[in-house]
Amino acid sequence: MKVIRAIAWAILGCCMFACNENVVYSAYEDIPDGMWYLDNKPTFKVSIDDTTQRYHVYYLIRNSLQYPYYNLYISKKITGPDGQPISSMLDELFMSNQTTGKPFGKGLGDLFDHKIPVLQNYTFDRKGEYTFTLTQSMRQNPLPFVMSVGISVEKAVQTP
């Protein structure tokens, strides 16, 4: 059953992102056994070729319906092509309605995918490879029922 679920999510992910030519980078990293430990720091390397282009950066979070909180704190560190840190931020993401418990995101069975804006109309200063490192910053270690985390970097569409 776990294999079938993984295949279904992979197909759904491909369909969601394959049709959009504005996607520069999109990737998930699976969290082993859905238990996100503090020392598990998924890292994503994004190549930027156009410094005049504006980009939208999104968190991609996949969680089980059993996720015990309405929010998720993530620390994000961005490192530039020269290996120097550009920024380090703590972001609060809302996973479900605080009052009703109804999950946000798109669901398939008991799994929910969230695409949450992090940076809007962002410009990268230099061409090269940027590294995004994500860490869960909740008080619970490990944090249960987080299945995958990732990022998506997309070209901001200019409207006429």
Between the ranges 22-26, 98-102, 107-111, where is the mean pLDDT highest? 22-26
pLDDT score for 2: 53
For the chain, domains (ranges, CATH) are 2-155 (2.60.40)
pLDDT greater at residue 148 or residue 16: 148
What residue has token string 């959009």?
Answer: 20
What backbone phi and psi angles, to 5 degrees, belong to 6? Answer: -65, -40
Mean pLDDT on 95-113: 92
**What percent of the chain is predicted at pLDDT more than 90?**
82
How far CA 33 is from CA of 70, 83, 144, 145, in Å, comes to: 20, 31, 9, 8
pLDDT digits (tens, 9 = 90+) for 2-20: 544 544 444 445 444 445 7
- The H-or-E segment that residue 9 falls in is helix 2-18
